[in-house]
């Protein structure tokens, strides 16, 4: 009789270990899937922020489909058409970029005061900065 009890105990222990591994694996999978969904949505939004061209149309369609699937949000036909033809505006980033470019411009001016550059070089640098900020 003690041999049967030991056998059942070993079987129960093995089943418990397997069940624990499966449950742990499922939770790990679900946790990482959420991270992957967030990264894919972030990538898709980045693609939709770029200026649309005929060459990027398939990529933009893919990005819209990813948001549909991963964010569980469905765009209607008018929204899809707008996202394919227009870049997604992002005002907060534009303001941050403008502030960074302005700071860089000030650093360039300061460096030019310390180490003189030609007027033409200075104008060219400032034009580049203004073009980037638009």
Phi, psi (deg, nearest 5) at residue 54: -60, -30
Q: Which residue has the higher pLDDT, 54 or 93?
A: 54
CA distance 111 to 96: 23
**Per-residue pLDDT tens digits for 58-82:** 999 999 998 888 887 788 888 888 8
pTM assigned to the model: 0.49
Percentage helix, strand, coil, to 5, in the chain?
85, 0, 15
For 76, the 3-state DSSP assignment is coil
pLDDT in tens, 37-65: 788 888 888 888 888 888 889 999 999 99
φ/ψ bin of 51: left (φ > 0), alpha (ψ from -120 to 50), beta (otherwise): beta
The whole-chain average pLDDT of the chain stands at 76
User: Has residue 93 got a pLDDT over 60?
Assistant: no
């Amino acid at each position: 009789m003690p041999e049967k009890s030991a056998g059942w105990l070993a079987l129960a222990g093995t089943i418990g270990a397997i069940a624990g591994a499966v449950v742990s694996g499922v939770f790990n999978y679900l946790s990482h899937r959420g991270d992957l969904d967030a990264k894919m949505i972030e990538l898709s939004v980045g693609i939709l922020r770029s200026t649309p061209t005929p060459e990027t149309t398939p990529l933009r369609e893919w990005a819209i489909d990813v948001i549909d699937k991963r964010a569980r949000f469905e765009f209607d036909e008018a929204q899809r058409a707008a996202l394919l033809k227009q870049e997604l505006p992002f005002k907060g980033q534009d303001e941050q970029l403008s502030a960074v470019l302005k700071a860089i411009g000030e650093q360039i001016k300061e460096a030019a005061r310390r180490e003189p550059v030609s007027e033409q070089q200075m104008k060219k640098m400032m034009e580049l900065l203004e073009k980037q900020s638009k």
